[in-house]
Amino acid sequence: MKKVQSTLRGFPVLNLAIAAGLGFALGAVTFNSTDSNAIASVKPSETEPVVAAAKAEPKAPKAEAAISIAKAVAAKPAQVEPQPKPVPQPESEPALASLPELRVEWHAETVKRGDNLSSIFQRAGLDAADVYELTSNSKQAKALRKIHPGQTLDFHIVDGQLQELRYNSSRLTSQHFVRKGDKFTTMESVREPELRPSYHEGTIKSSLFLAGQNAGLSDSLIMEMANIFGWDVDFVLDIRQGDSFKVMFNEKHLDGEHIGNGPILAAEFTNQDKTFKAVRYTHKDGRSHYYTPEGYSMRKEFLRTPVDFARISSHFNLRRKHPVLNRIRAHKGTDYAAPRGTPIRAAGDGKIIHAGRKGGYGKAVILKHGGAYKTLYAHMSKYGKGIRTGKRVKQGQIIGYVGSTGLATGPHLHYEFHVNGRVRNPVTVKLPKAKSIPKKERARFNKETQPMLAQMGDLQAARVLAGLEKPRNTL
């Protein structure tokens, strides 16, 4: 068994392996017949050498390129060496260009309910012996165990003998099995979708979600936008009619079809006449965060609201009549009404200094953040996974779930914010800023983000010129 790992332009070739040794069969693959006659009917490898089509099928240009490389590898003599990043362009393969008449004929089969490899092979004009030959001569044929309805297999058959099989396990990945004598070489190829910039804008009349949907944004993009601006805008309290937003991201397209979206690249949110701008920046280490165009982090050290889209049911009030005790007792926090079981998130990175029952607070968690800050979360129905005193939590991590333990009339989160030992109103307290782009990284930051901001401006201008055409729906 020889295993070679190599990289082709842009996409990895995984486990380009030559399976040696016969008698390797797959348990999950069913055979109609494995009698010796059937096996004897398998032709020896007398077929002409396989030559890749010079012209790639428009449907899968990269995959085709990958196949031609697989062939180049398969055609090499016994010793297979790691490939030195060949460029899979037709013109770089004169042998192929000079034989344009040898076009590979592909035959596609779609996996149906109840199918197994044998039934699909039968439809393609092959038989159980071919299934056996492939699965026993390629370790990677294991992947074929996982076929499920809707996937496709492409067959290349010459004189009744399987030369190549392409198993499209998803829209973006496929495995190729290429005959080399009586064995099969295998490789996986990953396609990159085409990216198309997409710009959307809207004005809030009743709710952020409705406005987002009207602007053609998916719920997940709306959530993404709310998360980006969630540090500056309280989407529970601050939203007003007339607030507006602009969002740019890349749509992912494959074979002319919209298959998904990339993350938001640039966005603006105008809340009560104050405009916040954000742009996505990927650091050298690969982490991506959102910054203002000036390079200030959109993140603060704390989340303003530790529960998603809850409603404030009781404000911070030092002279409130307690609903259960029915006497004046300071309400030293903010109550967020939310259904029982709603996740409660750590408002900032910190250390758990209490996780357990605490009198009228019921099941409560207290976090310490740096030297000066503490946050308290009360009336939980249960704690988050792994939440124990002494452990550290990351901002946004689920520390518990909304409930009504302790002195509570109904399910809600009682949330307290303490600064230097004094309780403060979590809704109005000034939250500290997170790190901005350091001076020495500013040039790189500008180089990466300014084109995105300029592009959003261009797309917005184009939209105005086009006369506010109807927004398309996005995934």
Binding stretches for Zn ion (CB under 5 A)? 335, 414
Taking the complex as a whole, the smallest distance from the CB of residue 316 to Zn ion amounts, in Å, to 9
Q: What is the DSSP letter of 272?
A: T
- Please enumerate, as own/partner, the contacts of 1-7 that have beta carbons within 8 Å and a separation of 24 or more: 1/139, 2/80, 4/80, 4/81, 4/82, 5/82, 6/82, 6/83, 7/83, 7/85
Which of residues 88 and 426 has its CB atom nearest to Zn ion in the complex? 426
Name the residue with tokens 């300029």: 454
Let me know: does 118 contact 128? Beta carbons within 8 Å: yes
Give dist(CA 319, CA 329) in Å, integer.
Answer: 6
CB of 411 to Zn ion, least distance (A): 12
- Which residue, 12 or 360, is less far from Zn ion as judged by CB? 360
Residue 224 or 335: which CB sits closer to Zn ion?
Answer: 335
Shortest Cβ distance from residue 266 to Zn ion (Å)? 38
Spatial distance between the Cα atoms of 6 and 51, rounded to a whole number of angstroms: 21
Question: Considering the complex, what minimum distance in angstroms separates the CB of residue 142 from Zn ion?
Answer: 56
State in angstroms the smallest separation of the CB of 443 from Zn ion. Answer: 48
Q: Residue 77: how many CB atoms within 10 A of its CB?
A: 5
Q: Please report where in the chains the tokens 């008449």 appear, as a residue.
A: 101
Shortest Å, Cβ 366 to Zn ion: 15
Buried b (16+ CB within 10 A) or exposed e, 329-340: bebbbbbbbbee
- Spatial separation of the C-alpha atoms in residues 436 and 139, rounded to whole Å: 50
Task: Specify the DSSP element, H or E, that contains 356.
Answer: strand 350-357
Report the nearest approach of Zn ion to the CB of residue 331 (Å).
Answer: 6
Q: Provide, rounded to whole angstroms, the least separation between the CB of residue 335 and Zn ion.
A: 4
- Closest approach of Zn ion to the CB of residue 339, in Å: 17
Q: Name which of 253 and 358 has its Cβ closer to Zn ion.
A: 358
Q: Which two tokens stand for residue 47?
A: 């077929």
In whole angstroms, the minimum distance from the beta carbon of 399 to Zn ion comes to 17
Determine contact, residues 293/453, Cβ cutoff 8 Å: yes
Neighbours of 203 (CB within 10 A): 13
- Whichever of 414 and 418 has its CB closer to Zn ion, that residue is 414
Other C-beta atoms within 10 Å of 31: how many?
19
Output 201 or 335, the one with its CB closest to Zn ion: 335
Question: Is-contact 402 355, C-beta < 8 A?
Answer: no
Phi (first) and psi of residue 348, to 5 degrees: -160, 170
H or E element in which residue 447 lies? helix 442-465
Of 39 and 429, the one with the shorter C-beta distance to Zn ion is: 429
**Residue nearest to Zn ion according to CB distances in the complex:** 414
Q: In residues, how long is the chain?
A: 475
Rank residues 45 and 409 by Cβ distance to Zn ion and give the closer one. 409
Q: What value, to the nearest 5°, has the Cα angle with vertex 207 and ends 203 and 213?
A: 70
Q: How far is the CB of 428 from Zn ion (least distance, A)?
A: 16
Minimum CB distance to Zn ion smaller for 350 or for 406: 406
Q: Which two tokens stand for residue 300?
A: 């603060």
> Which lies closer to Zn ion via its Cβ, residue 205 or residue 340?
340
Question: What DSSP line would sit under 125-185, residue for residue?
Answer: T--HHHHHHHHHH-GGGGGGGG--TT-EEEEEEETTEEEEEEEE-SSSEEEEEEEETTEEE
Looking at beta carbons only, is 304 or 414 nearer to Zn ion?
414
Instruction: Please state, in angstroms and rounded to a whole number, the distance separating the CA atoms of residues 47 and 42.
Output: 12
Contact call for residues 96 and 54 (beta carbons, < 8 A)? yes
Residue 16 or residue 427: which is nearer to Zn ion going by CB? 427
Closest contact distance (angstroms) between CB of 307 and Zn ion is 13
